[in-house]
Amino acid sequence: MRRRNFIRQFLYYSCIIAFPIIFAFMIYGAFLIKEKQDEIEEDTRKSAYALRDNYSLVLDTAEMQYDILCSNPRLSISLRHYLSHDKTNYLDSILVNSILSNFSSLTNNASYIASVYYYLEGYDSILTSNMGSVVKLSQFSDLSWLDSYAASQEKDWVESRDMHQFSYAAPVHVITFYRKLSMFKGVVAVNFYADGLRQVLSAGSGLDQFFLMDKDGRLLLEGKEDDGFFEHNQAEFLSAIQMPGREPVQKWISGGSSRYYTHIIPAGYNTYLLACISPGSYYQTIFTLIFQMLLVLAAVICIALWIAYKITRKNFRQIDHFINVFSDAERGIYNSEKPAFVEDEYDMILNNIVQLFVNKSFLQNRLALKEQQQKVAEMAALQLQISPHFLFNTLQTLDFKALEYTGSPTAINRIIEALSDLLKYSLEKPTTSVTLGNEIDSLKKYDCIQRYRYEDKYILYYEYDEAICSLPFMRLILQPLIENSLYHGIKPLNGTGFIKLKIVQRKDAQKKDRLFFSIIDTGVGMTKGEVNALLRKIRTAEGENIGLINVNSRLVMQYGEDSQLQILSKKGMGTCICFQIPISSADL
């Protein structure tokens, strides 16, 4: 009888404890699996944008060649003289040789670049990097690009073709980026080896497959050999990119012998990237998660059964104790000692828990206040590293004296004025609000000073929408980043380098408005190990990179961990330092 009651009570407590746990695990498991599905799909989206970032670096390389050849009218005229084989002077030869030297440096440093062509209509010659000179079309083996140029009505486009570098050699598969000239009728064509471009795009993407196609749905490049997936769904892809007001394609698509979760995004030059992840990666992660959850559930049920057994055993011990007490009382025996398992200490435990909670909350509030005060002090210290106002006044005196001696403004006056404005901008109170436009104006004054020092050593580009200039911004953020690119990226180069400041306003994964900043240079670049070492020094505030440490610390203190500096770099190609900051609805 006692054994039967013990089993009944044990099963009762087991059900009370285990069933809610099992039910909660089922709900949590369903939620977790759905969340994991969303996470995998989000990872695919992020990998797609990482793929587009790699593609953007390639496009920047092609754009750079166009800018070099077309941004300088004198250089364009010299090239025209050189191609016409008449009216060529000494300066024309020097300028053309500098372009050929740049071509050679580009193809030597970037192994995936096959060649660069510069062609003007009406002339029987082209300027080419693989020959390192001007070559007559009648003697040039690769002419298939010329038909594409003649047939295209686009300003810029991309084509997949076979390039005949030499008449005696087999053709090489290349991806050619075309851009028509603005000053003259002609084109700049940059040829990328298909295999080399495939390696550059797939680096760090984490995708199982990707495709590059043009606006007409033609396949330009695939990550690996296609088993019929693209051809089977080509019409659907074309319809998706041509649909007015289209949304990005994000869904599972089957074709050939493959099935991928596919994300389609525009990528410039009228091209589109298809990022694909296979169901093997998808389901393997889900099944692993389910298996882990079942193991945890089994462990929890075992613990629940053990707890139920302990409760049942304690209850029956208490019942046995009461029976023994009554039995002893009937016999006139009274035991005043209480066993340990019937002592009630819950009140004492609860009081201790409450006291610990209050003390912990008080200490946490004091710690939060102290950390806030420390952050304010650090922000003030970071922006007030240069405080002597007499330096600003002395520069103004030097400006007046230089103007007095020369009688008219000179380069010295302009340098002093720019430096004075920079000092005045940096000496204002840290709490004084500035706009992004103020910060860019300050950066342009810094650029003005460096121009006198380095002359044609570097070219600084700005790419941003004027509408964002009125947004509030922290002072002295952009100048240290540009200075870092100049000193550590461009200065070691033998020739001219390029730096681009790119500011874009778009929504993040949470659909919140943010500003994305990118400082891109074509400097010496860094290896992956060097990038990781630099990031470690920046985030631990250790090392000699004071400017980057300062900027990163202020961004994190002002906007949080999501705004810390990110670095992408490749040895011999350049470096990209980027960060993002939130935009509140009140700022728009």
Percent of the chain with pLDDT over 90: 15
- Tell me the chain's radius of gyration from C-alpha atoms: 35
Most confident of 33-47, 96-110, 259-273, 569-583: 569-583
Whether 29 has a pLDDT exceeding 80, the answer reads: no
The reported pLDDT for the residue numbered 316 is 63
Q: Residue 563 CB: number of other CB atoms within 10 A? A: 20
Tens of pLDDT, residue by residue over 191-225, are: 888 888 888 888 877 788 889 998 888 888 898 88
Residue 131 tokens, joined: 């020959």
The pairing of beta strand 458-463 with beta strand 497-507? parallel
Whether 391 has a pLDDT exceeding 60, the answer reads: no
Are 117 and 146 in contact, with CB atoms under 8 Å apart? Answer: no
Are 516 and 578 in contact, with CB atoms under 8 Å apart? Answer: yes
Are 276 and 210 in contact, with CB atoms under 8 Å apart? Answer: yes
Return d(Cα 450, Cα 512) in angstroms, integer: 37
Q: Residue 548 CB: number of other CB atoms within 10 A? A: 22
Nearest to 258 by CA among 218, 207, 219, 213: 207
**In this predicted model, which residue has the larger pLDDT, 388 or 531?**
531
Return d(Cα 534, Cα 364) in angstroms, integer: 33
**In this predicted model, which residue has the larger pLDDT, 570 or 287?**
570
Whether 551 has a pLDDT exceeding 80, the answer reads: yes
Q: Which residues contact 187 (CB under 8 A, 6 or more apart)?
A: 117, 119, 149, 178, 179, 180, 181
Are 213 and 219 in contact, with CB atoms under 8 Å apart? Answer: yes
Nearest to 157 by CA among 166, 146, 147, 149: 149
Using CA of residue 69, residue 70, residue 73, residue 76, what is the dihedral sign? positive
Query: Mapping DSSP to helix (H, G, I), strand (E, B) and coil, where does residue 131 land?
Result: coil
560: left (phi over 0), alpha (psi -120 to 50) or beta: left
Return d(Cα 500, Cα 576) in angstroms, integer: 9
Return d(Cα 265, Cα 240) in angstroms, integer: 10
Whether 272 has a pLDDT exceeding 60, the answer reads: yes
Percent of the chain with pLDDT over 70: 69
**Residue 530 pLDDT class (50, 70, 90 cuts):** very high
**In this predicted model, which residue has the larger pLDDT, 359 or 447?**
447
Q: Which residues contact 531 (CB under 8 A, 6 or more apart)?
A: 567, 568, 569
Most confident of 76-80, 256-260, 557-561, 563-567: 563-567
Least reliable range by pLDDT among 90-94, 333-337, 407-411: 333-337
Query: Mapping DSSP to helix (H, G, I), strand (E, B) and coil, where does residue 284 land?
Result: helix
**In this predicted model, which residue has the larger pLDDT, 138 or 537?**
537
Tens of pLDDT, residue by residue over 138-196, are: 788 888 888 888 888 888 889 999 988 777 778 889 999 998 887 778 888 888 888 88
Q: Which residues pair with 155 in a beta bridge?
A: none
**Residue 317 pLDDT class (50, 70, 90 cuts):** low
Are 557 and 563 in contact, with CB atoms under 8 Å apart? Answer: no
**In this predicted model, which residue has the larger pLDDT, 374 or 326?**
374
Return d(Cα 175, Cα 58) in angstroms, integer: 11
Nearest to 248 by CA among 44, 50, 56: 44
**In a 10 Å sphere around its CB, with 0-12 CB exposed, 13-18 middle and 19+ buried, how is residue 46 labelled?**
middle
**Beta strands across the sheet bearing 113-120:** 133-136, 125-128, 113-120, 186-193, 172-180, 156-163
**In this predicted model, which residue has the larger pLDDT, 478 or 393?**
478
Whether 566 has a pLDDT exceeding 90, the answer reads: yes
Q: Which residues contact 471 (CB under 8 A, 6 or more apart)?
A: 435, 436, 515, 583, 587, 588
Residue 105 tokens, joined: 């440096």
User: Token match 């020092």: residue?
Assistant: 453
**CATH placement of domain 72-197:** 3.30.450.20
Least reliable range by pLDDT among 229-243, 319-333, 444-458: 319-333
Whether 586 has a pLDDT exceeding 60, the answer reads: no
Class of domain 458-582: alpha beta
Whether 53 has a pLDDT exceeding 80, the answer reads: yes
The reported pLDDT for the residue numbered 293 is 77
Are 220 and 213 in contact, with CB atoms under 8 Å apart? Answer: yes
Phi, psi of 467 (to 5 degrees): -65, -20
The reported pLDDT for the residue numbered 82 is 65
Does the reported pTM lie above 0.85?
no
Most confident of 32-36, 314-318, 355-359: 32-36
Query: Mapping DSSP to helix (H, G, I), strand (E, B) and coil, where does residue 578 land?
Result: strand
Spell out where 450-565 has E strands.
458-463, 472-473, 497-507, 513-521
Return d(Cα 23, Cα 123) in angstroms, integer: 79
Query: Mapping DSSP to helix (H, G, I), strand (E, B) and coil, where does residue 203 land?
Result: coil
Nearest to 14 by CA among 314, 320, 312: 312
- CATH 3.30.565.10 domain position(s) in the chain: 458-582
Are 480 and 487 in contact, with CB atoms under 8 Å apart? Answer: no
Are 138 and 201 in contact, with CB atoms under 8 Å apart? Answer: no
Phi, psi of 462 (to 5 degrees): -125, 130
**Beta strands across the sheet bearing 258-268:** 219-222, 209-214, 271-277, 258-268, 250-255
Least reliable range by pLDDT among 88-102, 296-310, 326-340, 467-481: 326-340
Whether 525 has a pLDDT exceeding 80, the answer reads: yes
Using CA of residue 215, residue 218, residue 222, residue 228, what is the dihedral sign? positive
The reported pLDDT for the residue numbered 400 is 56
Return d(Cα 447, Cα 79) in angstroms, integer: 29
Tens of pLDDT, residue by residue over 329-387, are: 555 554 545 555 445 454 344 344 434 443 454 456 567 666 665 665 456 545 544 44
Whether 19 has a pLDDT exceeding 60, the answer reads: yes
Whether 393 has a pLDDT exceeding 60, the answer reads: no
The reported pLDDT for the residue numbered 54 is 83
The reported pLDDT for the residue numbered 384 is 47
Nearest to 339 by CA among 359, 351, 325: 325
Q: Give, in order, the Cα–Cα distances in Å from 145 to each of 131, 142, 266.
A: 16, 7, 24
The reported pLDDT for the residue numbered 349 is 46
Return d(Cα 400, Cα 404) in angstroms, integer: 6
Least reliable range by pLDDT among 186-200, 252-266, 313-327: 313-327
Tell me the pLDDT of the chain averaged across its residues: 77
- CATH 3.30.450.20 domain position(s) in the chain: 72-197
Nearest to 187 by CA among 231, 147, 218: 147
**Chain length of the chain:** 588
**In this predicted model, which residue has the larger pLDDT, 348 or 567?**
567
| Mean pLDDT calculated for residue range 413-427 | 68
Whether 247 has a pLDDT exceeding 70, the answer reads: no
The reported pLDDT for the residue numbered 188 is 85
Residue 207 tokens, joined: 């995708």
Return d(Cα 374, Cα 562) in angstroms, integer: 20
Q: Give, in order, the Cα–Cα distances in Å from 315 to each of 6, 10, 304, 336.
A: 10, 10, 16, 20
Whether 307 has a pLDDT exceeding 70, the answer reads: yes
**In a 10 Å sphere around its CB, with 0-12 CB exposed, 13-18 middle and 19+ buried, how is residue 586 labelled?**
exposed
Whether 498 has a pLDDT exceeding 70, the answer reads: yes
